[in-house]
A and B are shown apart, each in its own frame.
With several copies, the nearest count.
Chain A
Amino acid sequence: MSKGYFGEFGGQFVAELLIPPLKELEDALENIVPSEAFQKEFSDYLKNYVGRESPLTHCPTLSTDLGFNLYLKREDLNHTGSHKINNVLGQALLAKHMGKKALLTETGAGMNGVATATAARALDMDCIVFMGAVDVERQSHNVRRMKLLGATVVPVEAGSKTLKDAINEALRFWIKKQATHHYCFGTAAGPHPFPTLVREFQSVVGKEARKQIIERTGALPHSVIACVGGGSNAIGIFSGFVDDCSVNLIGVEAAGTGEEGCTNSAPLCLGTAGILHGQKTMLLQDADGQIMPSHSIAGGLDYPGVGPEHAHLHHCGRAEYVKVNDMQTLHAFKALTRAEGIMPALESSHAVAYVLENKDKFPKGCNVIVNLSGRGDKDMDIVEQYTELFD
């Protein structure tokens, strides 16, 4: 029973009809991914297409305010504007090696959809993206990008019409099309082997960050902080430091509007263990096991579950999980934009906000890395609704 498990979390809770494609993928993860040829091809893409390595940027102005050194791992500078491309390019390449002709995926805020549509073009594959109808509406900018990239975007009208429903629909579609399509799961969640596969492809973030901070400061950082939606950017950077016991790993969940009992996206902080989308993990659910709607100002965090490895790191205490609300996030968005000229995605702004709101928790002079998972251009419409912040 331990295959695909992280402690008690993980597994492969899917329809029997999906077992064969998942097994095919497990095989590919074991046999293709570690091969020298694949690794070379993947790192060529990361370097020459995505633009890696991404820099580690010191924030002089905020650091002065905070009394310790804030460094940003700049995933916002990747091609397509977030860390998502690391994973989808890895998966697309793997799919190609597996003989698949097309990619299918789900998307919430649209970043994974854009990244997947892009990887499909880079590797000359077809692409279909499932997206909750509500998200299609509120993330029209990214829908348009996907369409320009030639992807088919399918609005999902079922359930809450958001990410979780898009995943349901993608799983359904995959049952039908498993022969030709690879399901390019967008975050380090879902049934085994996705959490492992996605971590594998995102681990470049942690490897680079570790090397960079040591080069720059001569030492390991005090803390590494990342926002957690499904958990891919967080697991990517954490994986570089998880064996360094001295390094605090802090995952920041979305508290939504923040008042007691509000709709949120913080299953580790506020949820309970359960089973959804093929995995045993922490979930937002009612006492009957029905999944509750989630909310965050950051579309990419708006998911009632979380990758099982985070559930495990939480459970065993290796990483700490905290939450930040919408207004704190907006303030952090503004603070970073104004202090350093870097407009963070609202997802990433959660991680920044945790640092700004909790500066007393970090010793003077220490070095802290925040994973800046994406850029904020996509969020301008949302941010500008809060005009009182920007005058």
Chain B
Amino acid sequence: MTSLTTRINTAVQAGRKAIIPFLTAGFPTKNDFFTHLEELDSNGADIIEIGVPFSDPAADGPVVEAASLKALEQGVTLQWIVEELTKRKGQYQAELVLMGYINPFYQYGFEKFAKDAADAGVSGLIVPDLPLDESGEFKKILKQHGIALISLIGLNTPKKRMQEYADNAEGYVYVVSYMGTTGAAVAFPPELKKTLTEAREVFNIPLALGFGIKEPKQLEPFGDAIDAVVFGSALITDIEEKGTAVPFMERWK
């Protein structure tokens, strides 16, 4: 059982959902990013997803895309992220997960990345454009370095395919709440319940719900069907408005 799984289980056992904020690395500036990371860490984050910016984030909505481009303009690279996290290793209570498109990892070198990321204290990776069929090699390397490759599933993922993911799934399962990109949903579609039920049957690791989440009451209908919640666009928007991550994190206490 990876540290990510453990962390979520602990929260669930404490009668709450694990809290997983997402923040683009180097957003809004290289310095402020670490301030906000700190705020997230000391205000209830169980796991923090750090976005690795990419020029062509085809699975993201406008908020994350804009944050990503802004970070790139400021010279944020995967190497910078790994180096800065290495410097700060051990400072964070939350588990750290990197989330980014495959190409920057590919250019970094899968082997080198896995080693450096493990050294930096990263325990998981989410790659939205690396579906099951393409993930074999990278996943194996990551596993060798103790990094979990998180599976993403959506409303159109058949149970049979969930099973294929489940065979090798680690950490937690990222359930995409609707058919779309990050940050968009106003209401979750009715099929979501079925997806969560099936996922619960298939996977023996926790389920995290993400995409379009702004506030706790959105989760009420799901009860125990989910174990963790991921929020990104709404958080970024709030940080942009208020200059701090604290108020947004307060909502989830």
Per-position contact with B for A140-172: 1 when CB-CB < 8 Å, else 0? 000000000000000000110000110110011
B-side contacts of A15, CB under 8 Å: 58-59, 128-129, 131, 152, 154
**B:92-109 near A, CB below 8 Å:** 101-108
Quick one: given A176-B180, A288-B78, are A3 and B133 in contact (CB under 8 Å)?
yes
Which of the candidate stretches A233-241, A242-250, A275-283 sits at the interface with the other chain? A275-283
Q: Is the CB of A288 within 8 A of B79?
A: yes
Q: Is the CB of A17 within 8 A of B107?
A: no
Residues of A with Cβ closer than 8 Å to B?
1, 3, 11-17, 19-20, 158-159, 164-165, 167-168, 171-172, 175-176, 178, 274-278, 283, 285, 287-291
A-side contacts of B155, CB under 8 Å: 17
Q: Is the CB of A288 within 8 A of B56?
A: no
Question: Which residue of chain A lies nearest to B102 when distances are taken between CB atoms in the complex?
Answer: A275
Quick one: given A20-B157, A20-B158, A158-B65, are A12 and B134 in contact (CB under 8 Å)?
yes
Q: Determine chain A's interface SS by DSSP, over half rule.
A: mixed
The residue that B181 contacts in the complex, of A20, A167, A172, A285, with Cβ under 8 A, is A172
Distance in Å from the Cβ of B98 to the closest Cβ of chain A?
A: 14
| Alpha-carbon distance A164/B152, docked complex (angstroms) | 24
Distance in Å from the Cβ of B149 to the closest Cβ of chain A?
A: 13
Q: Is the CB of A159 within 8 A of B180?
A: no
B-side contacts of A165, CB under 8 Å: 56
Quick one: given A3-B133, A13-B130, A276-B103, are A159 and B55 in contact (CB under 8 Å)?
yes
Closest A-B pairs by Cβ, 5 of them:
A289-B107, A289-B104, A289-B103, A17-B154, A168-B58
A-side contacts of B129, CB under 8 Å: 13-15, 275, 278
| Alpha-carbon distance A15/B151, docked complex (angstroms) | 11
The residue that B104 contacts in the complex, of A1, A164, A168, A290, with Cβ under 8 A, is A290
Question: Which residue of chain A lies nearest to B133 when distances are taken between CB atoms in the complex?
Answer: A12
Quick one: given A17-B176, A274-B107, are A178 and B136 in contact (CB under 8 Å)?
no
**B:71-124 near A, CB below 8 Å:** 72, 77-79, 101-108
Q: Does B216 contact A (CB under 8 A)?
A: no
Q: Does B11 contact A (CB under 8 A)?
A: no
Distance in Å from the Cβ of A123 to the closest Cβ of chain B?
A: 25
18 additional contacts, CB 8 Å, given A17-B156, A275-B102, A288-B79? A1-B134, A12-B131, A16-B128, A16-B152, A16-B153, A16-B157, A16-B176, A17-B155, A175-B180, A175-B181, A178-B156, A275-B101, A283-B103, A287-B107, A288-B78, A288-B107, A289-B103, A290-B72
| Alpha-carbon distance A287/B181, docked complex (angstroms) | 27
Number of B interface residues, CB 8 Å?
A: 44
A-side contacts of B146, CB under 8 Å: none
Q: Is the CB of B56 within 8 A of A276?
A: yes
Per-position contact with A for B169-185: 1 when CB-CB < 8 Å, else 0? 00000001001110000
The residue that A14 contacts in the complex, of B54, B131, B136, B158, with Cβ under 8 A, is B131
Q: Is the CB of B69 within 8 A of A289?
A: no
| Alpha-carbon distance A285/B107, docked complex (angstroms) | 10
B-side contacts of A16, CB under 8 Å: 128, 131-132, 151-154, 157, 176
The residue that B55 contacts in the complex, of A13, A287, A291, with Cβ under 8 A, is A291
A-side contacts of B101, CB under 8 Å: 275
A-side contacts of B108, CB under 8 Å: 288-289
| Alpha-carbon distance A276/B72, docked complex (angstroms) | 17
**B:5-51 near A, CB below 8 Å:** none
| Alpha-carbon distance A158/B64, docked complex (angstroms) | 12
Q: Does B161 contact A (CB under 8 A)?
A: yes
A-side contacts of B61, CB under 8 Å: 172
Q: Is the CB of A175 within 8 A of B179?
A: yes
| Alpha-carbon distance A291/B72, docked complex (angstroms) | 11
Question: Which residue of chain B lies nearest to A287 when distances are taken between CB atoms in the complex?
Answer: B107
Question: Which residue of chain A lies nearest to B176 when distances are taken between CB atoms in the complex?
Answer: A17
| Alpha-carbon distance A12/B131, docked complex (angstroms) | 8
